[in-house]
Amino acid sequence: MEADGAENTDISNTKKPKHKGKHDKPKPWDEDPNIDRWKIEKFDPSWNQGGMVDVSSFSTLFPKYREKYLTDAWPMVKSALKEFGIDCELNKNEGSMTVKTTIKTRDPYIIVKARDLIKLLSRSVPAPQAIKILNDDMSCDIIKIGNMIRNKERFVKRRQNLVGPNSSTLKALELLTGCYILVQGNTVAAMGSFKGLKQVRRIVEDCIQNKMHPVYHIKILMMKKELEKDPALKNENWDRFLPKYKKKTVKQKKVKSKKKKQDTPFPPPQQPSMEDIQLETGEYFLSDKKKQAKKWHEKQEKQLEKTAENKRKRDAAFVPPKELVKEDPSTYADNNKDVAAMAMSLKKKAKEFGKQKSFENVNPEDYIATSGEQPRKKKSKRD
């Protein structure tokens, strides 16, 4: 019984997984290592010999300043689209470009490529570069950056960071991502592979939203290029090799809060009119001649004040600076005499003060004779 149970468990483990869909079954080419699933094969007209069932068309507007260039480059665009069986039309009156399929069109996706072509031409992409979008391995992405930031000055500054001095940052990004990038107005047009377009979109959005400067993205991409060359690191995580940049918080200026006015139901007091002011000053009752004479006198006074002030400013340039007065040697001698006299007076005062102190310190016992002692005889000086 135990052996039978073991056999049943083995059978249950080896059972194939059930598929939900009717056609969701493993195919023989799913696990074929020789097939490259990321390779985009070139379209063969034999795949669609019947052509298109219905006419598909796309149209887009272009700005006025592009009209002259498009008129000159339109024959080149027309010949490039004719190879794929696409008809195109340039309408100068409406300012639009139109592409549509014809009986000769075989590739069903080429109309989408033609739509991208006229979109790129309207975004100021040169015609020789825009025609490359018709290739199967080429894609495009138009990134709208105008609505990412409100402040116009900041927007212009960050867009300039994306371009760099002498377009050096843009050229570096083109080399590292393998994409053509054009910054024009409120949009960024990019052409290249899907992988490169994904990188370009991320870099552009980070730059405009001020998350990371494009220079740091360039450093990371350069390091990734070097890591790709090492086959040992092919299946490893590269985060430990890549630099991590933290956004520095810069102290912003504090916005001065305006004092809110108190809401009152009463209206503000009425300002006096011109007539009221004239009535107060008495000017209202003057005649026209007197009014003109008064205005003329006021004007003359202002002119006189102005001329006097201008003259004062002009004369200030001709005022000589104050010269340093040299003192005579006789004055030095007088000063020295005064100092000597002061020193002598101070010395006299010091002597007088010393004598006064000596009188104060006299001991009276030295001069009082006691009862037991005889007074000392003074010694007479003999010659």
Give the pLDDT confidence of 6-21 residue by residue, as tens digits.
445 454 455 555 556 6
Residue 95 belongs to some domain of the structure: yes
Domain interval for residue 142:
137-214
Residue 186 belongs to some domain of the structure: yes
Residue 324 belongs to some domain of the structure: no
Average pLDDT over residues 277-296: 86
Does residue 129 share a domain with residue 77?
yes
pLDDT at 352: 81
Residue 161 belongs to some domain of the structure: yes
Give the per-residue SS3 of the chain. Answer: CHHHHHHHHHHHHHCCCCCCCCCCCCCCCCCCCCCCCCCCCCCCHHHHCCCCCCCCEEEEECCHHHHHHHHHHHHHHHHHHHCCCEEEEEECCCCEEEEEECCCCCCCCHHHHHHHHHHHHHCCCCHHHHHHHHCCCCEEEEEECCCCCCCHHHHHHHHHHHHCHHHHHHHHHHHHHCCEEEEECCEEEEEECHHHHHHHHHHHHHHHCCCCCHHHHHHHHHHHHHHHCCHHHCCCCCCCCCCCCCCCCCCCCCCCCCCCCCCCCCCCCCCCCHHHHHHHHCHHHCCHHHHHHHHHHHHHHHHHHHHHHHHHHHHHCCCCCCCCCCCCHHHHHHHHHHHHHHHHHHHHHHHHHHHHHHHHCCCHHHHCCCCCCCCCCCCCCCC
pLDDT at 383: 44
∠ CA 126-129-134, nearest 5°, is 125
Q: Which residues contact 25 (CB under 8 A, 6 or more apart)?
A: 19
Region of 210 (left: φ > 0; alpha: ψ -120 to 50; beta: rest) is left
Does residue 144 share a domain with residue 132?
no
Band the pLDDT of 197: cuts 50, 70, 90.
very high
pTM metric for this prediction:
0.56
Looking at 113, 136, 159, the residue that finishes a domain is 136
CB 111 within 8 A of CB 58: yes
Residue 177 belongs to some domain of the structure: yes
pLDDT tens for each residue of 10-60: 544 555 555 566 677 777 777 777 887 777 778 888 888 888 888 999 999
Residue 205 belongs to some domain of the structure: yes
pLDDT at 371: 47
**Of 76, 142, 133, 124, the residue nearest 88 (C-alpha):** 76
Does residue 155 share a domain with residue 95?
no
pLDDT at 20: 60
Least confidently predicted of 35-49, 215-229, 291-305, 315-329: 315-329
pLDDT at 51: 81
Contacts 24+ apart (CB under 8 A), 48-55: 48/106, 48/107, 48/108, 49/106, 51/103, 51/104, 51/105, 51/106, 52/101, 52/103, 52/105, 52/108, 55/100, 55/101, 55/102
Does residue 118 share a domain with residue 49?
yes
Does residue 170 share a domain with residue 107?
no
pLDDT tens for each residue of 124-174: 999 999 999 999 889 999 999 988 888 999 999 999 999 989 989 999 999
pLDDT at 230: 84
Residue 248 belongs to some domain of the structure: no
Look at 121 and 376; give whichever has higher pLDDT. 121
271, two tokens: 């300002």
Task: Give Cα separations from 364 to 353, 354, 356, 370 (angstroms).
Answer: 21, 19, 16, 12
Report the alpha-carbon distance of residue 376 to residue 335 in Å, rounded. 57
Does residue 157 share a domain with residue 131?
no
**Of 66, 64, 53, the residue nearest 127 (C-alpha):** 66
CB 51 within 8 A of CB 110: no
What's the number of CA atoms in the CB half-sphere (13 Å) around residue 168?
A: 4
Residue 48 belongs to some domain of the structure: yes
165, two tokens: 């001095």
Looking at 115, 136, 157, the residue that finishes a domain is 136
Read off the CATH number of the domain in which 47 is found: 3.30.1370.10
Number of domains in the chain: 2
Band the pLDDT of 207: cuts 50, 70, 90.
very high
